[in-house]
Amino acid sequence: MEGKLDELLQSQAHVWNHVLKFMNSMALKCAVELGIPDVIHSHAQPMTLSDLVAALRIQPSKAQYLGRLMRLLVHSGFFDASEEEDVKYRLTPSSRLLLRHTHTTFQITPFLFLSLDKTA
């Protein structure tokens, strides 16, 4: 009986993992649309959530939602976060590929929008 229960739980986890995978893509798209990678890059040092809220001109009442988005993006490896009480976010090699306003040899944002555009 225990073996069947483990198999059922693993199967459910597998299905939910695939059902919810779109959240990472949508969070990434949201970050690029908001300009989070560019803002952190132009700040030239790690930024706190309140710094990001101010720089992105987000209403302070919406700061908690930006915090949730950033936690998901940190978990996904697109940003790095300090372990201080007032968390500071910085770019990772992956998020550097999402910069719009730099002259890099490879920019991935056009492909991101192409693959996630609902009209494509």
Integer Cα distance of 36 and 84 in angstroms: 20
Sequence-distant (≥ 6) Cβ neighbours of residue 78 within 8 angstroms: 28, 31, 92, 94, 95, 98
Using the predicted structure, report yes or no on whether residue 64 has a pLDDT greater than 80.
Answer: yes
Q: Quick one: average pLDDT of 25-49?
A: 94
37 is written with which tokens?
A: 């990678």
Name which of 23-27, 46-50, 64-68, 102-106 the model is least confident about: 102-106
Q: Quick one: average pLDDT of 1-9?
A: 86
**pLDDT for res 105:** 61
**pLDDT for res 12:** 93
**pLDDT for res 45:** 95
**Overall fold of domain 2-116:** Arc Repressor Mutant, subunit A (1.10.10)
How big is the CA angle at 101 (ends 41 and 93), to the nearest 5 degrees? Answer: 50
Backbone phi, psi, residue 41, to 5° = -60, -45
88-91, strands of its sheet edge to edge: 47-48, 88-91, 79-81
Answer whether 70's CB lies under 8 Å from 86's CB: no
Answer whether 31's CB lies under 8 Å from 89's CB: no
Answer whether 108's CB lies under 8 Å from 97's CB: yes
Using the predicted structure, report yes or no on whether residue 102 has a pLDDT greater than 70.
Answer: no
Query: What's the mean per-residue pLDDT of the chain?
Result: 89
